[in-house]
Amino acid sequence: MEKTRCHPRYRWIAALATLIGGVMSGCAVGPDFRPPADPVAGSYTAAPLLQDKTAIPGETTGSQSLVHGRELPAQWWELFHNSALDRLIRQALADSPNLAVAGATLRQAEENLRAQKGVVYFPSVDASLTGTRQKATGAAFGQPNAGGFTYGLYNASLALSYNLDLFGGGRRELEALQSQVDYQRFQLEAAHLTLTSNIVTTVVKEASLRAQLTTTREMLAVQEKLLELVERQFQLGGAARSDVLTQQTQVAQVRATLPPLERDLAQTRNLLAVYAGKFPSEAALPEFKLDELRLPQELPLSLPSSLAHQRPDIRASEELLHAASAQVGVATANLYPQITINGSVGSQSATVGKLFTSGTSIWSLGAGLLQPVFRGGELTAKRRAAIAAYDQAAAQYREIVLQSFQNVADVLQALDSDAAALRAQAETERVALETLELTRRQYEAGSVNYLLLLNAQRQHQQANISLIQARAARLADSAALFQALGGGWWNREAEAGSGQAAGKKK
């Protein structure tokens, strides 16, 4: 059987393809990245906290306990069991400009990676078609006495060029760009987590302000009734003028606390509208009440060894470290020879009609080698700078890990204090209310003076406001723990897949 033979003009293309395949399977200079070791901390806090025991007893909102090692749900805010909150978060995830910015930045990084892959893995091929018409004299051909003549020249060709990545500089550049893509992906997850956490804590703040407003208005009504009582006793001679003035001052002081609360409530709702991607005048937000937000009874607590794999900011910092490692490889590869292959194939003719006919084919094949010899220490200095940048990224990674553990420890400590504070505030409010009711009856009977009643009023008002703030702090710190632990983003796809599977079974 006769062997198939390539046309001579295309043999160099086959040879180049073979060479490229060999280069792509070669090694790359520079360090191979290894992810940092997991933190060795056995716990988040040095001393055992109340949350580390069986349960956290609470007042009015129930008990709360930590479940060590349990996975965080991706939609963790659903543990507050508030449908209006759930709808608001879903609307914000769909319309938030911050998430749109993070998503667009991720797509930009992905397209930059695809563009660079085309440069590294494939030769560039450009088609060209040129045509010229020119008049020349015989002097140009060594015949000064010959007359001038006109001729045309047409060229159609494909030009190819390729930089051989013998030492892996291009592949290290791709590695760095891939790390940038992963970095932006974790930045998107961080923006997602920040948005949902901010919405939950802002909703808790709104509910707290609304409850404080309600309580303050109730206290104002009580103070106004007491003012009427004192004025009546003054008219009958049973109270001094100073008692009337004191009660008027008390009414004015309570009334003065309303405008700041109303302002804070309006500004909080405006902030919620922005989180949802809406104008404050057009948001049509639901009104949130503190009693409608259920405290999560069980709080999942990830193991310390898992925290570095769960928090988006730690993962993003790890990708920056990876990119810095790849840049060391790029700087190292620049010290080695750079080889370029280029060639072209086409047709050249004096007329357009004769292009691609017999005898008009042209081709060229060339190669170039560039070996840095003397750059005044530029390349070695850039490599040392890349190593220093890697050391900087490594130190920043360690700092972020330490700050993350501090964040979790602070939230756990806050939850520990919240339970004790709520129990104390609930007891204080109960005693203050009993004292106020007893003192009011005694005052109406004339057995105590007005100063005792005034003091009881103030104590009960402050105790009631403090109780509302303690309940809100416990709800907000519960949300802060979900944020500190990473928010369960890694379970989002798993939950979506299980939901689809359940739908198919139905």
Domain positions in the chain: 30-124+167-336+377-494
Q: How many C-beta neighbours within 10 Å does residue 42 have? A: 8
Q: Which pairing describes strands 338-349 and 65-68: parallel, antiparallel, or unpaired?
A: unpaired
443: left (phi over 0), alpha (psi -120 to 50) or beta: alpha
Give the percent of the chain with pLDDT over 70: 87
So what's the pLDDT on residue 147? 60
In angstroms and rounded to an integer, the radius of gyration of the C-alpha atoms of the chain is: 38
Dihedral sign from CA coordinates of 452, 458, 462, 463 = positive
Q: What are phi and psi of 271, to 5 degrees?
A: -65, -40
For the residues 177-191, what does the mean pLDDT come to? 97
Residues linked to residue 64 through DSSP beta bridges, in sequence order: 56
**Inter-helix orientation angle 169-235/241-256, to 10°:** 160
Instruction: Check residue 4 and give its pLDDT.
Output: 39
The total number of residues shown for the chain amounts to: 506
- Tens digits of per-residue pLDDT, 207-245? 999 999 999 998 888 888 888 888 888 888 877 898 889
Structure tokens at 382: 């850039």
Asked whether residue 318 carries a pLDDT value surpassing 80, the answer given is yes
Bridge partners (DSSP) of residue 300 are 67
Q: Which residues contact 21 (CB under 8 A, 6 or more apart)?
A: none
DSSP category for residue 26 = S
Which tokens go with 44? 């988040």
Query: Long-range CB contacts (< 8 A, 24+ apart) of 275-283?
Result: 275/92, 275/96, 275/195, 275/198, 275/199, 275/202, 276/88, 276/91, 276/92, 276/95, 276/96, 276/199, 277/91, 277/92, 277/94, 277/95, 277/96, 277/97, 278/95
Is the predicted pLDDT of residue 9 greater than 50, yes or no? no
Number of Cβ atoms within 10 Å of the Cβ of 382: 17
pLDDT value for 432: 92
Give me the CATH topology for the region 30-124+167-336+377-494: Outer membrane efflux proteins (OEP) (1.20.1600)
Q: What is the pTM of this model?
A: 0.84
Coil, helix or strand at residue 237: coil
* Sheet with strand 149-164: strands edge to edge: 124-136, 149-164, 338-349, 361-370
Residue 438 pLDDT class (50, 70, 90 cuts): very high
Residues of the chain with pLDDT > 90, as a percent, come to 53
Residue 12 has pLDDT above 60, yes or no: no
Return d(Cα 421, Cα 463) in angstroms, integer.
12
- Structure confidence by residue, pLDDT tens digits, 47-98: 766 443 334 344 445 677 888 888 899 999 999 999 999 999 999 999 999 9
Question: Mean pLDDT over all residues of the chain?
Answer: 86
Question: Residue 10 pLDDT > 90, yes or no?
Answer: no
More confident residue, 416 or 497: 416
